[in-house]
Amino acid sequence: MTELIPQPRGVVAGPGEVRLTAHSQLYAGTATEGVGRWLRTVLQQATGLPLREGRQPDDTDGDGIRLRLDPGLGREEYRLVSDGSGVRVEGGGAAGVFWGAQTLRQLLGADAYRRAPVGRDRTWAVPHLTIEDAPRFRWRGLMLDVARHFLPKDGVLRYLDLMAAHKLNVFHFHLTDDQGWRIEIKKYPRLTEVGSWRARTKFGHRASPLWEEKPHGGHYTQDDIREIVAYAAERHITVVPEIDVPGHSQAAIAAYPELGNTDVIDTNSLSVWDNWGISANVLAPTDNTLRFYEGVFEEVLDLFPADAAEFSAFVHAGGDECRKDQWQRSPAAQARISELGLADEDELQAWFVGHFDRWLTARGRRLIGWDEILEGGLADGAAVSSWRGYAGGAAAARAGHDVVMCPEQQVYLDHRQDAGADEPVPIGYVRTLEDVYRFECVPAELTPDEARHVLGTQANVWTEVMEDQARVDYQTFPRLAAFAEVAWSRLPAPAQRDFAGFERRMAAHYRRLDALGVAYRPPAGPRPWQRRPGVLGRPIDGPPPNR
């Protein structure tokens, strides 16, 4: 039962075990009450045991569970001890206790992940051991794109639970793009009335001749968003929203045509985009556009409040893949370039992103964006999501900016998992489970001082070719388990990592994923219903560049 993922820093096993029984109690000390409620709920569901609330630590002697803080530990660090006095989980903060509770759940076996007991005579036991553990990186993220294919609220909550089970703590919520606007903004109701639905959807890569000829869409109400944020917080996960500017904005322009470059095209004729790729329809660099998006961000800040959580001040503003064709032809855009004394359209994009950098900073928040925002300079507090390989992250760190490493060639989980013909809608490079396990997120060329700007790492799930939850599961798992270990555990250099040992531990972890109902890719390849024969992808041959 000690096949743990992510791998803990240290495990010392002893003889014997603690058996949970109908008499076992769970005591949650000061500031761990929320963890206690969560743990009691999931274990009661799975085991059928009452796990009554202990009023004093001594109530749990022998066969119970005690949760408490230990100020000598780091905020996310924990210690789990199972011995003759019962099970004790201690953390430097509530987050550390929560991660220890996740480890305890793994120790109880795969059936501890079920929502109801599956056997009357089951023994629930924790082996005697001591585990001491702490994360390598502070930012351990998953980016989920719900703009290309909408994932209903229950699916988002489910992914928060899956993140928590793997000790991931930042949920990057990609809410807007050319193909859909997913968050209710009360000041601008057409963003969801119009912008959240498209008439049809390309099936497969944009080279595919196939279409799904039915409307696709949906959005989250503001109360849905508040629920998602609160649900995440209970699991010690911070939600970082993304509102894309100035590119990837066709859905917003379809809803409010005045946001587009009206002196170049008839923006009234635009609809939410039904294809993939990079739309030429980008925001006009006007004062009206700036004021409009300030109104959007005002409501976003209210829905995603900055609190005591380490990364809650961050707001992601996109900033990537902004095509300049319309700006080059737009008299208004060219006049703005001249008025501001800018050199070209690239500096115009930097000015646009810089406006919201300053706007967010003035409100105590921090802008984070894709690595294109480096072009033209950044304010001191802005951070970078490095997706175009390692170079952007290295440049940002050298310039003193915080960085989240998420290079496309390594941890974009929409990329195919095998070169075989049965792989569904093959996109990009082959990134196997082992490839992800050997990912190292800190650029080798950084000095120790520069490397301190690497907040951590993030796996990205872009959903152009993932039409439903089962497809998202297939692309995300089991690779997210490998990524979680890379983000949490202090592993050796990539070539020295014990992948065979990881595979042995995964044998137990697959049973946990089965209990959770995750439609992962089996090690032997896709099941028949996971394939998509005849649907074109965009495979890239050869190894990905490691730079």
Report, as residue numbers or ranges, the catalytic residues: 321
* 466, burial (CB in 10 Å: exposed 0-12, middle 13-18, buried 19+): buried
Strands 538-539 and 10-20: unpaired
Determine the Cα–Cα distance for residues 377 and 396; give it in Å rounded to an integer: 10
What does the alpha-carbon distance between residue 321 and residue 326 come to, in Å, rounded to a whole number?
A: 14
HSE-up (13 A, CA, CB side) for residue 220: 27
Chain-centroid distance, C-alpha 78: 23
DSSP secondary structure of 17-65: EEEE-TT-EEEE-TT-HHHHHHHHHHHHHHH----EEPSSGGGGTTT-E
Beta-carbon contacts of residue 343 (< 8 Å; ≥ 6 apart): none
Q: Is 334 helix (H, G, I), strand (E, B) or coil?
A: helix
**Pair type for strands 52-53 and 65-69:** unpaired
Say if residues 375 and 350 touch (Cβ distance below 8 Å): yes
> Taking a C-beta distance cutoff of 8 angstroms, is the pair 260, 278 a contact?
no
DSSP letters for 295-310: HHHHHHHHHS---SST
Q: How far is the CA of 518 from the CAs of 468, 474, 509, 515, in angstroms?
A: 13, 8, 11, 8
Q: Which amino acid is at 351?
A: W
Distance CA 340, CA 326 (A): 18
For residues 174 and 185, the answer to whether their CB atoms sit within 8 Å is no
Task: Report the 3 state secondary structure along 486-519.
Answer: HHHCCCCCHHHCCHHHHHHHHHHHHHHHHHHCCC
